[in-house]
Amino acid sequence: MFQILVADSISEEGLAPLISNESIRVIQNKVSEVEDILHEFDALLVRSATIVTEELLSKMKNLQIIARAGVGVDNIDVTAATKQGVVVINAPDGNTLSTAEHTFAMMTSLVRHIPQANISVKSRNWNRTSFVGTELAGKCLGIIGLGRIGTEIAKRAKAFSMTVQVYDPFLTHSKAEDLGVISTSLDDVLSLSDIITVHTPLTKETKDLLSYDNLAKTKKGVYVINCARGGIIDEQALVTYLENGHVAGAALDVFEVEPPLDNRLLEFEQVIVTPHLGASTKEAQLNVASQVAKEIVHFFEGKPVTSSINLPTLSREVFEKIQPYYELANKMGLILSQCMKEAVKEVNITYAGLVTELETTFISKSLLSGFLKSRVASTVNEVNAALIAKERGITFGESYSSSTSSFSNSITVKVIGEKNSFTIQGIYVADYGTRIVMLNGFKIDFNPSGHLLYIQHTDRPGVIGRVGKLLGDIEVNIATMQVGRKEIGGEAIMILSFDAPLQDDTVKTLQKSQDIVSVRKIDL
């Protein structure tokens, strides 16, 4: 008998496949109420309220699967779960429409002051002049993050006769064209929009995306909306811009700390709030609960699960053989993603030599998951990488080359974007390890790990010295340095490694230095 702990409030009807299954026992309780029997559960089902920490996982010795009845898995320590061999699944599209509709409800409420007017009338006032609103038709909506939810918002905004400006670095031109939206830079979205709504995952890149500096670039009188994740808008910065009147109002469904008991934003009349209700409809809850319930049944029946976001399903023996290539490919994907900052149409992988005898599909998926990791809300892994790439219009090709090179095996990847392309080649040699031996046609040789800088420059006397001095002046210690060039005086590259991550300001300063063409920070 498999025991499942349902720790958050989840649709009973959606749970039917579990409740009716004779080999499954469902217990609906908060974690704190079953502390002494946590070790007995085989599965844990949660929404966003239960925080699944490493400590909790260590108490759940029998746990095999965690199911998130929703999208965001930021309340689950997926790394700890993976380490513990626990599969994590989610329901990526069951609540898309409800969240988009809630965002739209927040937008209309915000610009027509509906919550404030409601309170006023119920307090027996009849004050029509204080609640004069703003029409949506003809206004510009800025959407940051055009994934599943952002896309549904865009369609609805078009129906309301709004113009839509979008910032999503991973959005292809054709998708934007199909939707009739303008795909542009973050700065354009900030400066041109009357209303800005965020729909990205909360990641290193999107934390405080609407910062002091970025809010300063917005129109005076702008409205902002966050129905994605607390922390994408810097709450302190928002307080400042509400206080000085630059931001006319905000609609917030999510907060950095939930519930937001001690949050200054709640004190503003022009801020309207809901308690993380985006996905709270009967339909969305039924969808997400039944999606994960069916997946859990499959999992216990030994069938493959389709929405796993962490573990691959390979035998240990096969995995051990491909592991070095699998890790190399993942690093190559991460390097490509950090060097190629634009929408990508194609990822082509070519294997040569001994590696072609292995299960390369799995290696390719590892590469793809490294490449997509920072671009989507839910964690990407080998199980879901190809599907996510397809959804995002990225064609993914794999081929074998018989051409002989100086390496006994190699993986070469070409990523083609709308304007540029980028090529990388990596090798694995037993007892030597994994190396990157080519970047964009430049021969090089470095270990893909740690904190790196990729600098493209002109091969002129003094460039390397200038970079060294610039970093030395700000006390940044270079651990290793590699240079590569195609011809004397032509284009050249440097790969520098450091003991700690570099500050973004350092990258900006280097970028301005003489003879430097481009600088990319790579964290692996």
Ligand X SMILES: NC(=O)C1=CN([C@@H]2O[C@H](COP(=O)(O)OP(=O)(O)OC[C@H]3O[C@@H](n4cnc5c(N)ncnc54)[C@H](O)[C@@H]3O)[C@@H](O)[C@H]2O)C=CC1
Q: Which residues are catalytic?
A: 229, 258, 276
Does 229 sit near ligand X (CB under 6 A)?
A: yes
Q: Which does 376 bind (CB under 5 to 8 A by kind): ligand HPV, ligand X, none?
A: ligand X
- CB count in 10 Å sphere of residue 501: 12
Q: Which residue has the tokens 């069916």?
A: 294
Chain position whose Cβ is nearest to ligand HPV: 70
**Which range of residues in 172-180, 195-203, 330-338, 439-447 is near ligand X by CB under 6 A?**
195-203
Total number of residues binding ligand X (CB under 6 A)? 34
Which residues have a Cβ under 8 Å from the Cβ of 423 and sit 6 or more positions away? 412, 413, 414, 415, 438, 439, 440, 441
| Prior bond of 201 cis (ω within 30°) | no
- Alpha-carbon torsion, ordered 208, 249, 159, 98, to 10 deg: 60
Does 47 sit near ligand X (CB under 6 A)?
A: no
Chain residues that interact with ligand HPV, rule: CB under 6 A: 47-49, 70-72, 95, 276, 278-280
**Residue placing its CB nearer to ligand X in the complex, 331 or 375:** 375
Does 200 sit near ligand X (CB under 6 A)?
A: yes
Amino acid, single-letter form, for residue 356? T
Q: Least distance to ligand X from the beta carbon of 328, Å?
A: 25
Does 168 sit near ligand X (CB under 6 A)?
A: yes
**Backbone torsions φ then ψ of 292, nearest 5 degrees:** -75, -30
**Which range of residues in 37-45, 121-129, 225-233, 296-304 is near ligand X by CB under 6 A?**
225-233
**Residue placing its CB nearer to ligand HPV in the complex, 65 or 413:** 65
Which residues 90-149 are close enough to bind ligand X by CB under 6 A?
A: 95-96, 99, 144-149
Which residues 259-278 are close enough to bind ligand X by CB under 6 A?
A: 276, 278
Q: How far apart are CA 226 and CA 211, in angstroms?
A: 13
Diameter over CA atoms, the chain: 85
Does 230 sit near ligand X (CB under 6 A)?
A: no
Chain position whose Cβ is nearest to ligand X: 147
**Residue placing its CB nearer to ligand HPV in the complex, 83 or 282:** 282
Q: Least distance to ligand X from the beta carbon of 378, Å?
A: 6
Strands 222-226 and 195-198: parallel
Burial of 500: CB neighbours in 10 Å, binned 0-12, 13-18, 19+: exposed
Q: Which does 233 bind (CB under 5 to 8 A by kind): ligand HPV, ligand X, none?
A: none
**Residue placing its CB nearer to ligand HPV in the complex, 229 or 365:** 229
The helix (H) or strand (E) run that includes residue 469 is: helix 463-473
Q: Which does 47 bind (CB under 5 to 8 A by kind): ligand X, ligand HPV, none?
A: ligand HPV
Does 331 sit near ligand X (CB under 6 A)?
A: no
**Residue placing its CB nearer to ligand X in the complex, 60 or 273:** 273
Does 167 sit near ligand X (CB under 6 A)?
A: yes
- CB count in 10 Å sphere of residue 5: 25
Amino acid, single-letter form, for residue 132? V
Q: Least distance to ligand HPV from the beta carbon of 200, Å?
A: 12
Amino acid, single-letter form, for residue 418? E
Which residue, among 383, 308, 314, has the nearest Cα to 67 in the 3D structure?
308
Q: Least distance to ligand X from the beta carbon of 186, Å?
A: 7
**Residue placing its CB nearer to ligand HPV in the complex, 72 or 260:** 72
Q: Which does 119 bind (CB under 5 to 8 A by kind): ligand HPV, ligand X, none?
A: none
**Residue placing its CB nearer to ligand X in the complex, 138 or 501:** 501
Residues in the chain: 524
Identify whether the C-beta of residue 203 lies closer than 8 Å to the C-beta of residue 149: no
Encoding tokens for residue 9? 């409030």
Identify whether the C-beta of residue 81 lies closer than 8 Å to the C-beta of residue 88: yes
Q: Which does 448 bind (CB under 5 to 8 A by kind): ligand X, ligand HPV, none?
A: none
Q: Which does 206 bind (CB under 5 to 8 A by kind): ligand X, ligand HPV, none?
A: ligand X
Which residue, among 494, 496, 491, has the nearest Cα to 458 in the 3D structure?
491
Q: How far apart are CA 102 and CA 153, in angstroms?
A: 10
Q: Least distance to ligand X from the beta carbon of 468, Å?
A: 31
Q: Which does 167 bind (CB under 5 to 8 A by kind): ligand X, ligand HPV, none?
A: ligand X
Strands 247-252 and 182-183: unpaired
Q: How far apart are CA 506 and CA 450, in angstroms?
A: 17
Q: Which does 94 bind (CB under 5 to 8 A by kind): ligand HPV, ligand X, none?
A: none
- Alpha-carbon torsion, ordered 178, 179, 183, 187, to 10 deg: 180
Given the rule CB under 6 A, which residues bind ligand X? 70-72, 95-96, 99, 144-150, 167-170, 199-202, 205-206, 227-229, 253-254, 276, 278-279, 375-377
